[in-house]
Amino acid sequence: MATGVAAWLPFARAAAIGWMPVANCPMPVAPRDNHKRQDELIILNVSGRRFQTWRNTLDRYPDTLLGSSEKDFFYNEETKEYFFDRDPDAFRSILNFYRTGKLHYPRHECISAYDEELTFFGIIPEVIGDCCYEEYKDRKRENLERLQDDQEENKDMKLPKLNFRETIWRAFENPHTSTMALVFYYVTGFFIAISVITNVVETVPCGSTTNQKDMPCGERYTVAFFCIDTACVMIFTVEYLMRLFAAPSRYRFMRSVMSIIDVMAILPYYIGLVMTNNEDVSGAFVTLRVFRVFRIFKFSRHSQGLRILGYTLKSCASELGFLLFSLTMAIIIFATVMFYAEKGSSSSKFTSIPASFWYTIVTMTTLGYGDMVPKTIAGKIFGSICSLSGVLVIALPVPVIVSNFSRIYHQNQRADKRRAQKKARLARIRIVKSGSANAFLQSKRNGLLNELLELTGTEEDEQKLIKSTSLLESQHHHLLHCLEKTTCYPVCSLQAHEFVDEQMYKQNRLETALQNDPSRSPSICSHDSSVGTCCSHRVKRNAALPSVSVPSTHPIPMHQGPLQELRAIHIQCGDLPSHTTSRSNLNLKTDDSGRINCRGAQITTAIICLPTPSALTPDGDGLHGPPQQRPPPPLGHPAAPSIQTTTSSAGTNIIKVSAL
């Protein structure tokens, strides 16, 4: 159904009368318009800005939100208008779509924001008019590329299991991935430099000896240079073969520019080995040595700037071609003119047109060697015209190449900048995430605190310690709490798992290890003050527990007092690695399960350490377990270690908190 011309439907139907006399069969009955209502103005309130339009305007596109009954969901009875909590600026262009039938993309809008608005209102982006469609698509593509770049960075971080070949290839392509690759990278770079330098030095005349003429160093120290050359070629060959082996697509690798350069760098040596001192081919051999200079191009793997340069030249191929073509044209024209102008003068150097090419080139590029100079007046006139026009012809395509280079270079800079910024961004995001998780833990403790406060009934402390959390937060925390409860196994000996701080978890693991080896004393720090200045001390809650419960057997030096002494423990949390792995570890083993230490926010809690009952009387849900006063287990119990372990394992649920 034509949507944009819905207004013309009455006309089309009326014109159908033209078919009636011709028709053979009777016509079907026309649908009745039962909801015949007068066209009315409806008000669309978008974030406070009121738009008004005819209902018919919106009905033009019945498969969008505004054109269908979906907008009834947004109808506000009191104000008799449709309220949308969206961006009013973007809504303008959407409403204009209904009015004019063409959707325009406002250039100042962010592309993803605009896309979201379109999706919300049920309009497909393909209806964007031709005037704006190209811009829209361009920006969308740019955005996608940017996101893809970021994803590719992520891909680098994730390391799926690579086999040997892939590891080598990766090491070659990204030298920063492993130290070996870096070493190899620098070694090859060094050898390339050596090779190039030897090539250069070979031709320098060394000091004269008894021989009459000055020999170049190459001929004087033949053996030394040959050794160096051999060594370099060895390295290059090995590198090439390894790359060939590791390449995912050998055929494509062999066709790539860098591999061709590699081959050209090492081939002359082997050809020279094969060839004997045959006089006929020595000329060709000398030519081959020239190709050794291509080794310098191998540096492009080491230098990004070189690569950018090469890429620029490739992308400016058409401009370069034009430059070349126009230069050739000009050269031929001026050479011809100069030749004929100078034909008259005697002893003229302009012996033929090709000979004049040299003069033209030298003049047009404003070199002006002066080896060929026009003598006739006409020649001088044309010569000056030649030099003036040369400046123009050369100057024209150059800015294009320069701008291309600048664009690509800046793109590269931006990519590097983005990569650096990303690390900072990710770190910040991680902190926020860990902050929210810690908020849950904190509120949990406060929640327990509150519950116990209710039990003990101290009013003032209750007011002090109840932190006001928003409804949203409390509901979210309740949800996480429910999740914890859900992970309770049907067998009651295991308790519900908890979300805990990562640091606590690590400490717990450490402690359980330590408890099995009681000779070592962990570092414990607990302050009584409420202001946290704890730097890197890790508070070992569990260490406190066994120490309290079994003070005599545990050699850990404790500053704490008796059993029911309250401690304020500061857990200073820093930035965290991900929680999920530690949580899953929680679910795995209960022995090692414990708290995860957190290193980020500051959590001030007061904890009373209570001994657990032995494993014979399992706690069920230790969180709401028995009241705080509990007799300590018999000290010197032979099963002290078991108590300790049960403490540690059941210690997960002994966070009995009481008022300070």
Partner 1 sequence: MTWAQRTTCSVLEQNSVEDELELSAVRHRPEGLEQLEAQTRFSRKELQILYRGFKTECPSGIVNEDTFKDIYSQFFPQGDASTYAHFLFNAFDTDHNGSVSFEDFVMGLSILLRGTVQEKLNWAFNLYDINKDGYITKEEMLDIMKAIYDMMGKCTYPVLKEETPRQHVEVFFQKMDKNKDGVVTIDEFIDCCQNDENIMRSMHLFENVL
- Residue 40 makes contact with partner 1 by CB under 8 A: no
- Alpha carbon distance 415, 150 (integer Å): 9
Return the residue of 49, 50, 55, 99 that touches partner 1, per CB under 8 A.
99
Which of the stretches 1-9, 211-219, 547-555, 626-634 binds partner 1 when contact is defined by CB under 8 A?
Answer: 1-9
| Residue 547, φ and ψ in degrees, nearest 5 | -65, -40
- Residue 22 makes contact with partner 1 by CB under 8 A: yes
* Nearest distance, CB of residue 50 and partner 1, angstroms: 21
- Alpha carbon distance 556, 510 (integer Å): 14
34 CB neighbour count, 10 Å cutoff: 6
Q: Regarding beta strands 81-84 and 41-46, do their DSSP bridges make them parallel or antiparallel, or are they unpaired?
A: parallel
Which of the stretches 7-15, 82-90, 132-140, 573-581 binds partner 1 when contact is defined by CB under 8 A?
Answer: 7-15
- Residue 435 makes contact with partner 1 by CB under 8 A: no
- Residue 32 makes contact with partner 1 by CB under 8 A: yes
- Alpha carbon distance 606, 455 (integer Å): 16
Q: Is the CB of 31 or the CB of 557 nearer to partner 1?
A: 31
Residue appearing with tokens 């403490």: 647
- Residue 38 makes contact with partner 1 by CB under 8 A: yes
Number of residues forming the site for partner 1 (CB under 8 A): 35
Q: Regarding beta strands 75-76 and 81-84, do their DSSP bridges make them parallel or antiparallel, or are they unpaired?
A: antiparallel
Return the residue of 30, 223, 274, 317 that touches partner 1, per CB under 8 A.
30
- Residue 37 makes contact with partner 1 by CB under 8 A: no
Which of the stretches 14-22, 304-312, 390-398, 401-409 binds partner 1 when contact is defined by CB under 8 A?
Answer: 14-22
Q: Is the CB of 103 or the CB of 449 nearer to partner 1?
A: 103
- 119 contacts: CB under 8 Å, gap ≥ 6: none
Return the residue of 39, 145, 214, 416 that touches partner 1, per CB under 8 A.
39
Q: Is the CB of 10 or the CB of 636 nearer to partner 1?
A: 10
- Residue 616 makes contact with partner 1 by CB under 8 A: no
Q: Is the CB of 20 or the CB of 274 nearer to partner 1?
A: 20
Q: Is the CB of 101 or the CB of 551 nearer to partner 1?
A: 101
User: What mask, x for binding partner 1 by CB under 8 A, covers residues 49 to 68?
Assistant: -----x-x------------
Whether the CB-CB separation of 88 and 49 falls below 8 Å is answered with yes
Return the residue of 26, 370, 636, 638 that touches partner 1, per CB under 8 A.
26
- Residue 9 makes contact with partner 1 by CB under 8 A: yes
* Nearest distance, CB of residue 127 and partner 1, angstroms: 14
* Nearest distance, CB of residue 5 and partner 1, angstroms: 5
Report DSSP letters for 12-71, one per residue. Answer: HHHHGGGGGGG-SSPPPPPPP-TT-----EEEEEETTEEEEEEHHHHHT-TTSTTTSGGG
Whether the CB-CB separation of 626 and 620 falls below 8 Å is answered with no
Which of the stretches 26-34, 204-212, 342-350, 432-440 binds partner 1 when contact is defined by CB under 8 A?
Answer: 26-34
Long-range pairs, 10-16, Cβ under 8 A, ≥24? none
Q: Is the CB of 16 or the CB of 275 nearer to partner 1?
A: 16
- Residue 100 makes contact with partner 1 by CB under 8 A: yes
| DSSP classification of residue 205 | B
- Alpha carbon distance 107, 109 (integer Å): 5
To 5 degrees, how large is the angle CA 132–CA 135–CA 138?
Answer: 145
* Nearest distance, CB of residue 104 and partner 1, angstroms: 16
- Residue 151 makes contact with partner 1 by CB under 8 A: no
* Nearest distance, CB of residue 304 and partner 1, angstroms: 49
Q: Could you give the C-alpha distances from 102 to 58, 135, 378, in angstroms and in order?
A: 13, 15, 66
User: What mask, x for binding partner 1 by CB under 8 A, covers residues 588 to 607?
Assistant: --------------------
Q: Is the CB of 19 or the CB of 164 nearer to partner 1?
A: 19
Which of the stretches 11-19, 169-177, 422-430, 450-458 binds partner 1 when contact is defined by CB under 8 A?
Answer: 11-19
- 382 contacts: CB under 8 Å, gap ≥ 6: 334, 337, 338, 341, 374
Residue appearing with tokens 């994803």: 151
* Nearest distance, CB of residue 9 and partner 1, angstroms: 7
Q: Is the CB of 33 or the CB of 459 nearer to partner 1?
A: 33
Q: Is the CB of 127 or the CB of 353 nearer to partner 1?
A: 127
Residue appearing with tokens 């090995």: 238
- Residue 317 makes contact with partner 1 by CB under 8 A: no
Long-range pairs, 201-204, Cβ under 8 A, ≥24? none
Q: Is the CB of 14 or the CB of 471 nearer to partner 1?
A: 14
Q: Which two tokens stand for residue 448?
A: 């327990």
Give the chain's radius of gyration (CA, Å). 42
- Alpha carbon distance 487, 499 (integer Å): 11
- Alpha carbon distance 411, 124 (integer Å): 32
Task: Please list the alpha-helical segments (H only) found in 45-178.
Answer: 55-59, 88-100, 111-120, 130-157, 164-173
H or E stretch at 225:
helix 222-246
* Nearest distance, CB of residue 25 and partner 1, angstroms: 8
- Residue 280 makes contact with partner 1 by CB under 8 A: no
- Residue 34 makes contact with partner 1 by CB under 8 A: no
| Residue 270, φ and ψ in degrees, nearest 5 | -70, -35
Q: Is the CB of 20 or the CB of 482 nearer to partner 1?
A: 20
- Residue 35 makes contact with partner 1 by CB under 8 A: no
Give the closest residue to 348 by CA, choosing from 372, 380, 369, 368. 372
Q: Is the CB of 39 or the CB of 214 nearer to partner 1?
A: 39
* Nearest distance, CB of residue 70 and partner 1, angstroms: 24
- Residue 41 makes contact with partner 1 by CB under 8 A: no
- Alpha carbon distance 216, 135 (integer Å): 63
Give the closest residue to 600 by CA, choosing from 571, 569, 570, 575. 575
| DSSP classification of residue 656 | B
Give residues in contact with partner 1 (CB under 8 A): 2, 4-5, 7-27, 29-30, 32-33, 38-39, 54, 56, 99-101
